Structure 1
Amino acid sequence: FAFGGLGINPHWVTPRNPWDAENHRAPGGSSAGAGVSLHEGSAMVAFGTDTGGSVRIPASLTGNVGIKTSKGRWSTDGIVPLSSTFDTPGILTKSVADAVFAFEAIDAKSRHSTAKITIKDKSNITLGVTTDYFWDKCQDDIGEVVENTIAELSNAGFKTQPVALPEAHEAVEVMAGGIIAASEGYEFLASELPDWLKTLHPYVAARMNTGGESSTFDYLTALRRVQRLWQRADAQLAEVDVLATPTIPVTPPIISEVEDPETYRNSNMLTLSNTMAGNSLNLCGITIPVGLDKAGMPVGLQLLSRLHNEETLLAVALAVEVVIGTPAERLGKPPLGGSL
């Protein structure tokens, strides 16, 4: 029910991450088949909804590009909601260039504008770099890949600027508490699809039931906390074009190693930890493949920008791709890939 970052699906079988030929690793979720579909050639553009990372996570873990749009940028009409506060539609593609092409075709504002998104001049790009929250849980090998990429961009002419974003920790803490998303998701199901509540997987049901048990006071308190943080985060990012961070701080787990509910919960929260900041701080974002970790799994660079700043975000992402190459050039072919 779009409520998990690993992409494990006991109902329809979990898609296999194409970057590990020996082990069945998590493909990332909740748009679990989206990233895999790009590699097998069944899609050139895949769609998903990003409530806490459900577009960026499967994109990053399968070595693809994934865009999380700003809240309200694209309509959510026709999408089964999980959280009216955090849900945002997004797309996954095999390159930034493809992502920009698809974005401009879908985006109403872009379709009615004569201005096109083009590569931003490197000398006019400022990358915000933080040393706090986004790196706290990061594996050394993943952190090294992302740090080296930021250094590579700096050497190519990108400007870098330190940014303190303490709001990320608090915002993710509130979101991870589950009250906002679970309350909104539970209310929708109870009102519109009550029979679905009986069919949810136990992992999803446990999180969803938190919403049914929460008080109005708890819900509104959590909502107002994150809304106050939105304003502070927007001000912190005012002097940079994007904030550059690792997308996922850990290697995707082998499916058999997260069958225990507690192990699953811990792995799921680690996987979501960096992407949730984008949703809980009301930002737009993109993930770009930048290398492989020690297990041979893709590592993503996450770029976050202020609300409704997609044009700048994508112009910067295009400039990044010019420097580091496309995902196919940077990572090569996955062992189980078909079309990449």
Structure 2
Amino acid sequence: DAENHRAPGGSSSGAGVSLLEGSAKIAFGTDTGGSVRIPASLTGNVGIKTSRGRWSTAGIVPLSTTFDTPGILTRSVADAVFGFEAIDAKSRHSSTKIRARELSEVRLGVTKDYFWDKCQDDIASVVEGTIAELIDGGAESRDVSLPEAHEAVEVMAGGIIAASEGYEFLTNELPGWAELLHPIVSGRMYTGRDSLALDYMTALRRVQQLWLRAEAQLADVDVLATPTIPITPPIVSEVEDMEAYVAANMLTLSNTMAGNSLNLCGVTIPVGLDNAGMPVGLQLLAKLHDEETLLSVALAVEAKIGTPKERLGPSPLGGSN
């Protein structure tokens, strides 16, 4: 934004910006609650959240062994598929490559509940317009009710699971480091320190039950289509106050956390600009370990609506697209 310094999303902030200004073609990140999809969406890039267990987390400093998933950010869906197939062990040993589906073969899940409740009107309009384009192009729209999203995000936002797992790692692998962390981060970790084992196990069991229910709800669709981020990227000066930061942070996370807390894989694709001229992302969520379907649909979307550069225009940072 030439007028205002805005948050680029995180925690893989540098990954998104490096793509935007042209110093990288593929960037790596980890997605525990949205940390690949959020910076990708806010910087007008594509971001893949892999399924839990699809890619190894060996060598990655953990936040949550339950929710951590590696991922990549790229400038286009085609680049994302290229990167995915190069990294993914299953894809490397398969003779079948991921190709764009015909839109007429896509079963597009559409919901009007949780994912839209906090969405700005201008962002909702862009995403709804994109979904309409896909349906006009031949995709089959199927109504989906997913009340599990609100419940799962509520459990995850409570912080007990991630904080307990993160604090355990700090205590046993990096003793003394918790005191050196930024107060926002250390405060989250201390939630784990102060929680009972019963609290942790109860929360974990609850989300695992929701995983099964969500899988059943999505059985008849290939992907669920939602807005990625429901708000415009915050102006940095407006979130320097802690209360404002926390509110904006939770809004930014609200839709992406559903992917992690429901044990799904997902991708965000740039589909337009909001009223502030900032990128808007379409989030596609698919069932566990169904990245092949997810990415074949994402390629179909890009084939229909154009690449991010075609859809959004040139990068405001002047980088190579």
Shorter-chain TM-score range: over 0.9
Q: Deviation at 1:334?
A: 2.8
Q: Is the 8 A contact 1:21 1:336 kept in 2?
A: no
Please tell me whether residue 25 in structure 1 is matched to residue 10 in structure 2.
no
Please tell me whether residue 55 in structure 1 is matched to residue 43 in structure 2.
no
Taking structure 1 as the reference length, the TM-score comes to 0.94
Q: Which residue of 1 aligns with 2:227?
A: 246
- CA RMSD in angstroms comes to 0.6
> Gaps spanning 5+ residues in structure 1: where?
1-19
Q: Is the 8 A contact 1:95 1:326 kept in 2?
A: yes
| 115, 121, 131: which one aligns with 1:134 | 115
Once residues 310 and 338 of structure 1 are traced to their aligned partners in structure 2, the CA distance between those partners, rounded to angstroms, is: 29
Please tell me whether residue 117 in structure 1 is matched to residue 109 in structure 2.
no
Q: Which residue of 2 aligns with 1:216?
A: 197
Q: Which residue of 2 aligns with 1:297?
A: 278
SS in 1 for 2:284: strand
Once residues 89 and 300 of structure 2 are traced to their aligned partners in structure 1, the CA distance between those partners, rounded to angstroms, is: 24
Once residues 83 and 147 of structure 2 are traced to their aligned partners in structure 1, the CA distance between those partners, rounded to angstroms, is: 34
How far does the alpha carbon of each residue in 1:114-140 deviate from its partner, in whole angstroms, 9 at most, with x for none?
000011111110100000000000000
How many residues matched?
321
Q: Is the 8 A contact 2:101 2:299 kept in 1?
A: yes
Q: Which residue of 2 aligns with 1:259?
A: 240
Q: Deviation at 1:97?
A: 0.3
Partner amino acid for 2:51? Answer: S
Partner amino acid for 2:272? Answer: G
Once residues 109 and 69 of structure 1 are traced to their aligned partners in structure 2, the CA distance between those partners, rounded to angstroms, is: 13
Partner amino acid for 1:212? Answer: R
SS in 1 for 2:281: strand
Once residues 127 and 67 of structure 1 are traced to their aligned partners in structure 2, the CA distance between those partners, rounded to angstroms, is: 18
Q: Deviation at 1:261?
A: 1.1
Partner amino acid for 2:233? Answer: P
Once residues 115 and 155 of structure 2 are traced to their aligned partners in structure 1, the CA distance between those partners, rounded to angstroms, is: 16
SS in 2 for 1:26: coil
Aligned structure 1 segments of 4 or more residues deviating by more than 3 angstroms: none
Q: Which residue of 1 aligns with 2:182?
A: 201
Q: Which residue of 2 aligns with 1:184?
A: 165
Please tell me whether residue 147 in structure 1 is matched to residue 128 in structure 2.
yes
> Gaps spanning 5+ residues in structure 2: where?
none
Q: Is the 8 A contact 1:129 1:163 kept in 2?
A: yes
SS in 2 for 1:307: coil
SS in 2 for 1:149: helix
Partner amino acid for 2:238? Answer: E
How far does the alpha carbon of each residue in 1:77-98 deviate from its partner, in whole angstroms, 9 at most, with x for none?
0000000000000000000000
Taking structure 2 as the reference length, the TM-score comes to 0.99
Q: Deviation at 1:199?
A: 1.3
